[in-house]
Structure 1
Amino acid sequence: MVSRKWGVRLIAGLAAAASLVSVAGCGNSGNSGDKKDSAKASGDAIIKVDNTEPQSPLVPANTNEMGGGKVIRYLFEGLVSYDAKGKQHMEVAKSITPNADATQYTIKLNDGWKFTNGEKVTASSFADAWSYAANVKNAQKQGSRMSIIKGYDEMQDPNTPADAKLSGLEVIDPLTLQVTLKSPDSVFPIQLAHQSFFPLPSAAFKDMKAFGKAPIGDGPYKFKSWQPNTDIMVVKNPDYRGSRKAANAGIDYRVYTNEDAAYADLQSGNLDVMEEVPQSALKTFRTDSSVKAFVQPGSSYQGFIIPESLPHFALGKEGNLRRQAISMAINRKQIVSKIYQNTKTPSTDFTSPLVPEHSAKLKNSGNLQYNPTKAKELWKQADEISKFTGSFKIAYNSDAAHKPWVDAVSNSLKNTLGIDASGDPYPTFSDIRNRVTDRSIKTAFRSGWMLDYPTAEDYMTPLYASSSADGHGSNDGDYKNPQFDAALDKALSQTDVAKRTADFQAAQEILLDDLPSIPLWNEDVAAAASTKVSNVHFDYTNLPTYNTVTK
């Protein structure tokens, strides 16, 4: 999930990822906090949290940034979820059973789930939502998530009927959905935690834009109001049946365009939880008596993308040399230490230390290490192919604390490569995302990714697969390499964990050579909460579990 800014360490043997087995519910249990803290809370308080204005209406498959994503994940519930410890919970799904080669899954639903308008959640609620997301006519930003399902390719034809259904989805009965995939995918049960696989009520399809402004979900909270550029309010859903039950009365997502202003509100008690403290507070927040500080390993990625369309940087000899030179010219450890007080972990691959497939010893990982001498050599080799002229800019949104690192990276490029490099600020996150989405941006640009579900696949398919390029997903640089696609497909076809891990790593080695983005660091949790609240936890996405917070 794309983040404006930006976890307890995951248990390495996640149940759904450990082997290809039938997944069945064994009873749900909510995320619980400290019992002593819980005793102090009344459970009738609205929790105030910081947010950004969503880029689009709140439709799950059309949201790929966290301003909207943080709201959607609590308005809706899917087939499965993951708690703060990385444990999978069956939610609407009663069981998810694969065939022998992971090309087909039979999903049984629990009876009794309802949307907040009273409509029953059925197999059609999922099948219709997934087909809508896949249909090219609907231009859903997360539509490529459905590319694993049979029939997706046919639905990319502009002449596809508006009511077309994915051929790989068969509603056996109201509580049974059979899913046939295009090719084997052994991590499909994990991917189902992603919001693009959430169900939609029939009312959504009558006017999706209007629905997105007042969504009807089946999650732990229900929609109350949305004041653009001010806040979004959700309140507890008393009919929610899942594991993520609300311990508070609701969540007020307050829009901030200045992180320092949000932190000041936190210190004064006018804000309850802030997912990441501003750069200005990194030296002091741990000892600030006016807040509760949280520091722990995290999974979010920060870097910048150089679009394939940018002159001198297309996939190939010259482009690869320049990307590698730029990456080697950056002293990640120094930036993390001096600017961020070691609250970030320099990247060693394209994933994070919180997923089992992570490795710091992959082939081509040296491209992420500071090596100014080699950087100069590679840049010179690229100039011998085609001389680089002009400037190199990194676009970023100035409503979050990106300027310090962008300036530091730009200075490194100036000093090492001798080029004119600088930051290119945009006023808000929405401003830059709109330019990225419509492909009108003509510079490199910052990118952030928050893990959607706990597997290395989530760092790969949505960000670098060819099927996610050209506006069909989050491959914003439009990177397309058939060799990478084939390596990724091979990993997904493996039902043996060790072999799958090795194949994911082989796919990463291709990314480390091509560098479709320049990984900088993983964002550790560096968050804070008001002293008035308790039971604040962080999950694998680096986000607070807002439903557990009490006041």
Structure 2
Amino acid sequence: MRGTTRTVAVAGISAAALLLAGCGGSSDEGTDTPAAKAGGSITVRGCNPENPLVAGNTSETCGGNVLDVVTAKLVKYNVDTAAPEMDIAESIETSDNQNFTVKLKADYKFHDGTVVKAKNFVDAWNYTAYGPNAQYGSYFFEPIEGYGDLQSTDPDGEDGPQKAPEPKAKAMSGLKVVDDTTFTIKTTAKVSNLRVRLGYTAFSPQPDAFFADPKTFGDKPVGAGPYKVDAWTKNAEIKLSKFADYSGDKAGNVDNITFKIYQDANAAYADVQANQLDVTDEVPSSALIDDKYKTDLPDRNNQQAEGVIQTITAAPTSVDPNYGPEIRKAISMAINREAIIKAIFNGSREAATGWVSPVVDGYKADVCGEACVYDPAKAKAALDAAGGFKGGKITLSYNADSSHKEWTEATCNSIKQALGVDCVATPVVDFSTFRSQIQDRKMKGLFRTGWQMDYPSIENFLTPIYGKGASSNDGDYNNPAFDAKLAEAAAATDAAESNKLYQEAEAILAKDMPSIPLWYNTSTIGWSDKVTNVKVTPFGVPDYAGISLK
């Protein structure tokens, strides 16, 4: 991996980002776009989804990229600007940012031919939010009234003999079906950017077929998007075909899209060069050096800013107690971000000075302060003041099926030279295994983390990652003052005031260092000479539905 007509609801994209997003295209922007033809088949790089393709249980890009074209939501995001636009929703109205009335377009169809009704949203959201269903997207429904009644706590932890009691309820009191095309949402407190959030995958509706068999549904999901899943061969490919009865206004161009699952970004890149793969959303580090990719793929490459930040997270202290806040700050000051960006990424990244991407409105520079500035002497002094590193050697884990080897090794070298502590870049076979180890709290030491915005808001870079119990809070960060500030910001009705409060929340992160900011991404992609109309969204993902064959 995400508004009413009266509101410009991008509390979201800044003017600079809008310009960057609009100036995509190939490296030769003076040429005309080749003529496109309708239909045909394309192949694109994929990676192993962590979980079955269930919208409420997919919180990573391997599955999210597929679901982006398989699902439809109340809101979609403009592929050029990320501005929210109505999709299944006819309107989303509120007078107080706490009580919302949603009206659906009539006869919007799922892939199985059934009509999307209000209950398909309400039932899906309740299923995702219900604690015992253990859906990764559950946290996104926390603002809705009654969410807490769907949760329960295991009194002696997951490994103890006792079991968590049944939650008080199975449905959130804040969701009500009015009729087939109308439902209402009531939030516990005011949520000024709720409309912006509703284009995220977890807010997808589910057809009645999902509830009949949720466990097997994810192998061949039924959505309402421009493409439907035909087959998923695990560890090999996911085949999609164009949905003939798609109800939205942005139908796909090609007849078939196959996500070919690669274990190595270099292999995917080589296949694009040889025209054996049509699109790769990842150009390996070796091809970024001296802009080699522009020579390898003349007139068939694109690089632009995206709403993505790369970070390093430490295992929770309950898993590995050797990486406390002061140790994390020392490690951060030991990382020569600028040198790594120049050597490994050919300058195609921007050193991060905080936890929020510059792509969104509300971004503030230098929030991290000196902790994000390379200074070997201060880093060593900070480590000594913290009592030194007591874990033997520092480990930095990464998934080996993408091009992380070079930069993680360079980062470890920087840390080792500055701190005098051995640091080892440690590969994990693929993204699915990597994320499972993190989610199961089996990963020790440091590990790479990255965040692709779900929806264009400063809040999205804070709440889902660092809020207590949040679905992507991989380090189990917990600071009540931070959570209180998030709640205050969410309740603000003025966008500028809301952004200010979110900035104050981010400043709390600078004190606790729950993760180590590395750099803000630009997206670099390449494609074969068989396709045209290839562009990257502000989310850093190719607009798969917009791709055509020449």
Aligned match of 1:466: 468
Give the one of 216, 220, 223 matched to 1:214: 220
Give the one of 11, 16, 21 matched to 2:9: 16
Give the one of 356, 362, 383 matched to 2:361: 356
Q: Please give the alpha-carbon distance, in whole angstroms, between the structure 2 residues aligned to 1:276 and 1:426.
A: 18
Aligned match of 2:123: 128
- How many Å apart are 1:459 and its aligned residue? 1.0
Q: Does 1:293 align with 2:301?
A: yes
Kept in 2: contact 1:291–1:530 (CA 8 A): no
Aligned match of 2:352: 347
Give the one of 395, 400, 405 matched to 1:403: 405
Q: Please give the alpha-carbon distance, in whole angstroms, between the structure 2 residues aligned to 1:32 and 1:247.
A: 18
Q: Does 1:542 align with 2:549?
A: no
Q: Please give the alpha-carbon distance, in whole angstroms, between the structure 2 residues aligned to 1:497 and 1:371.
A: 37
Aligned match of 2:480: 482
Q: Please give the alpha-carbon distance, in whole angstroms, between the structure 1 residues aligned to 2:119 and 2:190.
A: 23
Aligned match of 1:22: none
Which residues in structure 2 correspond to 1:44-193 (within 5 Å)?
A: 44-84=39-79, 85-100=81-96, 102-157=97-152, 158-160=164-166, 164-193=170-199
Kept in 1: contact 2:286–2:344 (CA 8 A): no
Q: Which digits, 9 at most, give the CA deviation of each residue in 1:375-431, with x for residues without a partner?
A: 122111110xx7624121111111111111111111122111121211121111112
Aligned match of 2:160: none
Q: Please give the alpha-carbon distance, in whole angstroms, between the structure 1 residues aligned to 2:270 and 2:32.
A: 24
- How many Å apart are 1:497 and its aligned residue? 1.2
* Counterpart residue identity of residue 322, structure 1: I
Q: Please give the alpha-carbon distance, in whole angstroms, between the structure 1 residues aligned to 2:86 and 2:172.
A: 24
Aligned match of 1:511: 509
Which residues in structure 2 correspond to 1:324-343 (within 5 Å)?
A: 324-343=329-348
Which residues in structure 2 correspond to 1:246-285 (within 5 Å)?
A: 246-283=252-289, 284-285=292-293
* Counterpart residue identity of residue 487, structure 1: K
* Counterpart residue identity of residue 435, structure 1: Q
Aligned match of 1:369: 373
Q: Which digits, 9 at most, give the CA deviation of each residue in 1:120-152, with x for residues without a partner?
A: 101101000000001111100111111111111
Give me the CA root mean square deviation.
Answer: 2.3
The TM-score with structure 1 as length reference comes to 0.90
Q: SS in structure 1 opposite 2:522?
A: strand
Kept in 1: contact 2:237–2:259 (CA 8 A): yes
- How many Å apart are 1:39 and its aligned residue? 7.3
Q: Please give the alpha-carbon distance, in whole angstroms, between the structure 1 residues aligned to 2:10 and 2:35.
A: 38
Q: Measured at CA, do residues 270 and 387 of structure 1 come closer, stay the same or move farther in structure 2, by a change above 3 Å?
A: closer
Q: SS in structure 1 opposite 2:177?
A: strand
Where do 5+ consecutive residues of structure 1 fail to align? 3-12, 20-30
Q: SS in structure 1 opposite 2:545?
A: helix
* Counterpart residue identity of residue 217, structure 1: G
Kept in 1: contact 2:56–2:128 (CA 8 A): yes
Give the one of 383, 386, 397 matched to 1:382: 386
Where do 5+ consecutive residues of structure 2 fail to align? 13-23, 153-163
Q: Which digits, 9 at most, give the CA deviation of each residue in 1:482-531, with x for residues without a partner?
A: 11101111111111111111111111111122111111011201111112
Q: Which digits, 9 at most, give the CA deviation of each residue in 1:329-358, with x for residues without a partner?
A: 111011000111011111121111110111
Kept in 2: contact 1:137–1:162 (CA 8 A): no
Runs of 4+ in structure 1 off by over 4 angstroms are: 31-34, 36-39, 310-314
Q: Please give the alpha-carbon distance, in whole angstroms, between the structure 2 residues aligned to 1:371 and 1:243.
A: 52
Q: Please give the alpha-carbon distance, in whole angstroms, between the structure 2 residues aligned to 1:14 and 1:399.
A: 42
* Counterpart residue identity of residue 348, structure 1: T
Q: Measured at CA, do residues 526 and 39 of structure 1 come closer, stay the same or move farther in structure 2, by a change above 3 Å?
A: closer
Kept in 2: contact 1:49–1:271 (CA 8 A): yes
Q: Please give the alpha-carbon distance, in whole angstroms, between the structure 2 residues aligned to 1:308 and 1:238.
A: 47
The TM-score with structure 2 as length reference comes to 0.90
- How many Å apart are 1:312 and its aligned residue? 4.5
Kept in 2: contact 1:14–1:87 (CA 8 A): no
Q: Percent identity?
A: 36
Q: Please give the alpha-carbon distance, in whole angstroms, between the structure 1 residues aligned to 2:355 and 2:90.
A: 34
Kept in 1: contact 2:10–2:84 (CA 8 A): no
